[in-house]
Chains A and B, each alone.
Chain A
Amino acid sequence: MLAPGLPHFLIVGAVLFAFGTYTVVTRTNAVGILMGVELILNAANVNFVAFNRFNPSPLLTGQVFSIFVIVLAAAEAAVALAIVLAIFMTAKTIDATQADTLKE
């Protein structure tokens, strides 16, 4: 059994990032695309925290940066879901390939 080192965490982050990219690329549901973005941001967070653990800095730079990422992801999710609801109210669909008009 291998003791987990930095590459193990980076590989977990890489796999999650790839799944997030697949979600963003193939889904047409706007909420599904948003889930893929959240997965990508989380994969980046895993890398930040792993680098911080194996290269300790007195300021905990990696953890602080990942907290900023979490804050921005929450803000992004709130605005994106508001936009999704607005699109759903006007276009009656959240299919990202159908919503292609700026005004009804």
Chain B
Amino acid sequence: MADTLQKPSRHAEVLVGVVLLVVVVAFVFWIFVKEVLPGLAPVATQGAELARPSDLLFYVIAAVSIVSGAGVAFSRSIIYAALSLLGALLGIGALFIFLSADYVAVSQLLIYIGGVLVLILFAVMLTSKIGDKSHTNPSIGVLPGIGLTVALIAVLGYVATRTPWISNPNAPNPAQTARTIGDVFLKEYLLPFEVSSLVLLATLIGAVVVARKEIKE
């Protein structure tokens, strides 16, 4: 990577990043072998003995969302990142269906993919040229960023696998999610529901006020 602007501290920063990365990767490998793999083993005996097609489907969906998430993080062009975000959001919506949260999955599809992603694509088209390559934030380079990512995955994976969660894999699926959610929105969660409607109104007005062109007389 031939930077035209070579600062003398650049090499020291790269060296620190490499050392940090090596240490973190070694730590992660150690944790994965020592802790995460035995942590996942009891889960295998909890569920059904035989592999069902839905189990395989879970791994496919998880792989799609994780690979798309990596695309958002690592692709050089912002438009590819936006299209990878589409894959990630679709994968997460499929995970919601897998978790028998159909209402949340449909909301994800309508609001995120139909609304937020289209908004993001509009912003990308309006503000940057297609050929623009992403520049890395100069205050945090790529290597410390990767170190941070790996450390986060290690710590959160450790917590997720080693904590004795109260979990019942054979819990019955909620029968009527949409009906229950509608009920609790108008009973137990009425105040947050109304407050969120106020938030949406404020957002509507605020977005128009901020984004309009000022007409100077």
Task: Give the shortest distance, in Å, between B185 (CB) and chain A (any CB).
Answer: 7
Contact of B192 (CB < 8 Å), options: A50, A68, A74: A68
Q: Digit string of B98-139 for contact with A (CB within 8 Å is 1, else 0)?
A: 111101100110011001100110111011100010111111
Interfacial chain B residues near A35, Cβ < 8 Å = 72, 81-82, 85, 120
Q: Digit string of B136-152 for contact with A (CB within 8 Å is 1, else 0)?
A: 11111110011011101
Cα A4 to Cα B57 with chains together (Å): 10
Contact of A81 (CB < 8 Å), options: B74, B123, B177, B199: B123
Q: Digit string of A1-29 for contact with B (CB within 8 Å is 1, else 0)?
A: 11111111111111111111111011111
State how many residues of chain B have any CB contact under 8 Å with chain A. Answer: 98
Query: Do the beta carbons of B169 and A54 come within 8 Å of each other?
Result: yes
Cα A3 to Cα B98 with chains together (Å): 12
Cα A71 to Cα B185 with chains together (Å): 14
Query: Do the beta carbons of B160 and A77 come within 8 Å of each other?
Result: no
B189 at the interface (CB under 8 A from A): yes
* Chain B residue with Cβ nearest A96: B137
Q: Digit string of B32-55 for contact with A (CB within 8 Å is 1, else 0)?
A: 000000011001101110011001
Residues of B within 8 A of A (CB): 39-40, 43-44, 46-48, 51-52, 55-56, 58-59, 62, 65-66, 69-70, 72-74, 78, 81-82, 85, 88-89, 92, 95-96, 98-101, 103-104, 107-108, 111-112, 115-116, 119-120, 122-124, 126-128, 132, 134-142, 145-146, 148-150, 152-153, 156-157, 160-161, 165-169, 171-172, 174, 177, 180-181, 184-185, 188-189, 192, 196, 199-200, 203-204, 206-208, 210-211, 213
Query: Do the beta carbons of A31 and B92 come within 8 Å of each other?
Result: no
Query: Do the beta carbons of A38 and B112 come within 8 Å of each other?
Result: yes
Query: Do the beta carbons of B181 and A67 come within 8 Å of each other?
Result: yes
Contact of A1 (CB < 8 Å), options: B55, B138, B199: B55
Interface majority SS (helix, strand, loop, mixed), chain A: helix
Residues of A within 8 A of B (CB): 1-23, 25-29, 31-32, 34-36, 38-39, 42, 45-46, 49-50, 52-56, 58-60, 63-64, 66-68, 70-75, 77-79, 81-86, 88-89, 94-97
How many inter-chain contacts with C-beta < 8 Å in the A-B complex?
274
Interfacial chain B residues near A8, Cβ < 8 Å = 40, 43, 58, 62
